[in-house]
Structure formats: structure tokens, C-alpha cells
Amino acid sequence: MVPLVVSESMDIAEPFRLGLGTYTSAGDENCTQSVATALDVGYRHVDTAQVYGNEESVGEGIRQSSVPRKDIFLATKTVHHDVPGPEYEDILQAVDGCLQRLGVETVELLYVHWPTGIYDPAVTLPAFDELYDTGTIGHIGVSNFEPHQLDEAREILDAPIFAHQVEMHPLLQQDELRAYAQRHDHTLVAYAPIARGEVFDVPELTTIADKHGVSEAQVSLAWLLEKDVVPIPKASSEAHLRENFEARSLSLDTEDIEQIDAIEQEERLIDPDRAPWNQ
């Protein structure tokens, strides 16, 4: 397999603004096709993880698309139950495995997937710093962290935290983490940004969707974009990929934003017992 090389000249801001999530995408040709189609539609940010078991398919989708590798912002995650141990070399070896499966020499963004299990900040984060210093990864991210864990990571890391990926949608608005991201100059990335389809059953979103002639999913994505949050919706069909991507052009007015902000229902969809907010 010929590795793909990252260009240092990429303009990060626009490619990163809305991405393709691949969580639960099967590691087969369906995943490959959805990645290739998304890139041809206009996506430039692709998100995966070691534990998803689809990095090979994601990499193949990148190679099958007509988009040059240098124009793609590729993110993956490790440090989960996918890494054999907490030692420094375990982390480096796990990341090397990610790169080999993706068929790349570097990735634009590498996340610590969960601050639980084998995660040891005193070991894991210096390993990420080394990967950053050697250019193996372009940026360091964390995922599913609580504020005190973000504080600890910032104290240990030499490199800045570029992004924090969490579940976020109108039913889980993450005000505290969004304010933290603004204070400390990193980007909040939203997984499950349409609440696994539950946004279609939220009356406030339906009212706004009808007003603009769009779907509730597009309203949810546009709301996140208005908050300077990067959504990474998952989709497989070209129609849904296009619909999600077109949310970038939807302009919500002040009344729309206030109506969504006022939603009192709160529902966390990804809530394992090991999660830091359950400890």
C-alpha cells in the first residue's frame, strides 16, 4: 500500500468546519463508498477511530475519491480498549497501527479517545507531544474529557489542545465545555450532532425547519455552526451527505437561535458507565 502524504500548505479552517463522522460504519466497501462520495460532494474533514474498526476502509475511500490527500483533514482516535497497555511505547505502537491501516504517513489530528481505562495523562500526553514534535500528527485533540481533565492535560502537554470532541446537539448543549473551549482557544467538535435522529422529534426544531424549508437535521447542524462548533454527522447515502453538507449555507436568525437555546429537554445518548461524568 502506497502511503498518502499530508501537505503542510492546507488551509485548516474551512475544511475542518464540518466533517464526516464514521462511527459504527462497517469496515467494508459501504464505508469506503460513503467516504469517497462525501469527499466528492465537498467534505474535506473525515473523522474515524481505531476502535471503530474501519480505518482501512476510510483510507481506501480517500484513495478512491478524486480529492488530493493534501486537501483532506483526516482525524483518528486512540487510547481506548484498543491499546494493549498504558506504557509510552504502547501508545506510539497504537498510533503507528492507525497510520498503517489508514495508509498514511501522518494525520492532521489525533485524539485521546477517552480519559479512562489505560489512559495515564503522565504517559499518554508526552507520547502525543512526541508525535506532534516529529510531525507524525498535525494537531493534538482530546475526546470526552471533563473540565478538570482538560486542565490537567493543558498543564502536561507542551503542544496546545487543538480540539475537544464530545457529544453535542440541541438536546445536549454542552454550555460549560463550549465556554471552556472559547476561554482556552480550542475547537469543540460535536459527535452525534443530530442526536441519532432524535432531532426530528423536537417541536422547536420542526417549527424552525418548516420556516426555512429545510430538515430538522440541517437546523441542528446550522445551530452548531452558529456556535462555532464543528459537527461531524454520519451519513451513507449521497442524498443525506449532500443535505448535511448544505447546512453550512443555512443562516439561522436570532429568534431561531434563542428558541433552540431555550430547549429544556436534555438527553445524553452516549453514556457508558466508564465515562468520566459518571465517576
Q: What are the residue numbers of the active site? A: 52
**Would strands 19-21 and 137-143 be described as parallel, antiparallel, or unpaired?**
unpaired
In the structure grid, which three cell numbers stand for residue 95, read together?
498510533
> Are the beta carbons of 65 and 35 closer than 8 angstroms?
yes
Per the DSSP assignment, residues forming a β-bridge with 172 are: 169
Q: How many helices (H) and strands (E) does the chain have?
A: 11, 8
Q: Which amino acid is at 202?
A: V
CA distances from 110 to 15, 123, 245, 267 (A): 16, 16, 23, 27
With b for 16 or more beta-carbon neighbours within 10 A and e for fewer, the 236-264 pattern comes to beeeebebbbbbeebebeeebeebbeeee
CA 29, CA 148: separation in Å to the nearest integer? 40
Pairing between strand 137-143 and 45-47? unpaired
Distance of alpha carbon 71 from alpha carbon 9, whole angstroms: 9
Q: Which residues contact 261 (CB under 8 A, 6 or more apart)?
A: 173
State which amino acid sits at residue 86.
P
